[in-house]
Amino acid sequence: MRIATFNVNSITARLPRLLAWLESSGTDVVCVQETKCSEAQFPYEQLRELGYEAAVNATGRWNGVALISKVGLEDVVRGLPGGPEYEGVEEPRAISATCGGVRLWSVYVPNGREVEHDHYGYKLDWFRALTAAVAEDAAGPRPFAVLGDYNVAPTDEDVYDPAVFAGLTHVTPAERAALEALRGAGLSDVVPRPLKYDRPYTYWDYRQLAFPKNRGMRIDLVYGNEPFAKAVTDAYVDREERKGKGASDHAPVVVDLALDA
């Protein structure tokens, strides 16, 4: 089974490329972030024509997550149970379901904006709620993974130049400690292969030729429990999908699993 996580930066803007990529890559399940649409605007029909069903948690122009699967989509849970609100709103940043026997979450962790900003505290609170919400499945016997845009680079190796990020969100000790807590719950970082260069970046800013210069970050992560990690046969960043006209600023992370019958 081939699964993936992909921050599409608007599923409406990305739809032609997303549909072509689903077909060419043979992806069975993709965890999508930043749909940037309402549920009514979600392209269910175009996906259905390719054999995919979708579960969506989206409310409008910001955020939004989905699970798109052609191997089943059962026991859907929208949102992060016990998660914090931001400015009185429960934002659409999580959805989970069982696809082909694997329990999967698609998450879009809050950005944090600046270390002094309320959004940063919200981000850390969101991580705490996520860790609590996944603890039981993380420790369980069923293959389980949380995939998505974590908005944290796990180590200094995961940014093109640590000096550029000094004092900024995405690299602070508290954010990295939040990832460590998630690992403490029984999940491990499934690190993908880069298909070019030496580091598996997943995001490159649109500006200043960041992609051709490979000024990237690894912030789209796959955190799986032990049964999941044992089933992984390959993982890679599909950087081809970051190229050319109409690309997202993120590339998909693809994971191949060999599951028992």
- Measured distance CA(149)–CA(155) in Å, rounded: 15
Piece of the chain touching DNA by CB under 7 A; list 9-17, 44-52, 74-82, 176-184: 9-17
Active-site hit among 122, 223, 238, 250: 250
Q: Quick one: 149 or 238, whose CB is closer to DNA? A: 149
Query: If we measure between CA atoms, which residue out of 153, 31, 161 comes closest to residue 96?
Result: 31
Closest residue by Cα to residue 5 from 250, 257, 258, 259: 250
Active site residue 75: no
Residue 149 near DNA by CB under 7 A: yes
Element (H, E) at 99: strand 94-99
Beta bridge partners of 220: 149
Asked if 261 is part of the footprint of DNA (rule: CB under 7 A), the reply reads no
Q: Which residue has the tokens 């800013």?
A: 205
Catalytic residue among 52, 86, 108, 203: 108
34 is in an annotated binding site: yes
Query: Is residue 156 near DNA by the rule CB under 7 A?
Result: no
Active-site annotation holds for 236: no
Q: Does 196 bind DNA (CB under 7 A)?
A: no
Active site residue 117: no
**CB of 11 vs DNA, minimal distance in Å:** 8
Q: What is the 3-state secondary structure (H, E, C) of 33-74?
A: ECCCCECCCCCHHHHHHCCCEEEEECECCCCCEEEEECCCCE
Q: Which is nearer to DNA, 26 or 246 (CB)?
A: 246
Residues placed in the known binding site for Mg(2+): 7, 34, 149, 151, 249-250
